[in-house]
Amino acid sequence: MIDMASVALQLYTVRDETTRDFAGTIRKVAAMGYAGVEFADYGSLSASEMKALLTETGLRAAATHRSLQTIEQDLTREIAYCHEIGCTFLVLPWLAPQQRTVELFRQLTPRLNTFGKQCQAEGITFCYHNHDFEFAHHNGETFMDMFLAETDPSLVKLELDVYWAAYAGVDPAHFLQTHAGRVPLVHLKDMTPERTFTEVGDGTLGIANLVRIARTGGTQFFMVENDAPTIPSLESARRSLANLRGM
């Protein structure tokens, strides 16, 4: 049985709706029954405004995604925003294509440790979120190999995206078992037989088993996401939640 209190919606799923009406969309997500949200952006809301919205809706700030540029510009400000809204996980969500070279990734890993140390000192857990490119081989080594070997596991954790791991040919269940304790956050995202996105529970990835393994390994939050819904985005979020409840 899935603990629904640990399920949050990654708001990137409903970005078309938040662009039009951020606060209104948050209220709709809460009405569906989600326990929390993971931010893709803040909709131009100040920290105090966001705190009030979360208090009104009863939603928990499970985690937040902030770009590398934003983190480098003012990590102290980002940590302060997290404190104000009660968010304890700050996640680097992706790297731009021009940053995806072996040389640049090796330069990044010590910076990740620095970010993680600053976050840890303030009671925040810093995480890195994967896509598929981290699992591509470069002379027999992957970016994920580098990440795991060159970042301090006490300072930098991983938010595993099970879809992108599977898309890259990696068994997410085996990865979660192998790296238990390193993955406090998991992106639940399902895959069709054609390897496209679908609602959580409607695809091929065996979500219930992944949740069980992740929970055993210490995962705290599960983020529902669909990068490109083929149905209205709010309906996609609603269907994924209903499927999880049915598990």
- 130-160 burial, b at 16+ Cβ within 10 Å, e below that, comes to bbebbbeeeeeebbbebbbeebeeebbbbbb
C-beta of residue 144 within 8 angstroms of C-beta of residue 130: yes
The first and second tokens of residue 123, run together, are 């009671």
Residues in the chain: 247
**pLDDT attached to residue 2:** 84
Identify which of 167, 170, 180 has the alpha carbon closest to the alpha carbon of residue 144: 170
C-beta of residue 91 within 8 angstroms of C-beta of residue 159: yes
CATH architecture of 4-245: Alpha-Beta Barrel (3.20)
Give Rg (Cα) of the chain.
17
Strands 137-138 and 185-188 come out as: unpaired
66-107: pLDDT as tens digits: 999 999 999 999 999 999 999 999 999 999 999 999 999 999
The domains of the chain are located at 4-245
184-198: pLDDT as tens digits: 999 999 999 999 999
Q: What pTM value is reported for the model?
A: 0.97
Helix axes 102-121, 68-85, angle to 10 degrees: 20
186-229: pLDDT as tens digits: 999 999 999 999 999 999 999 999 999 999 999 999 999 999 99
Helix axes 22-32, 47-57, angle to 10 degrees: 30
Strands 60-65 and 141-142 come out as: unpaired
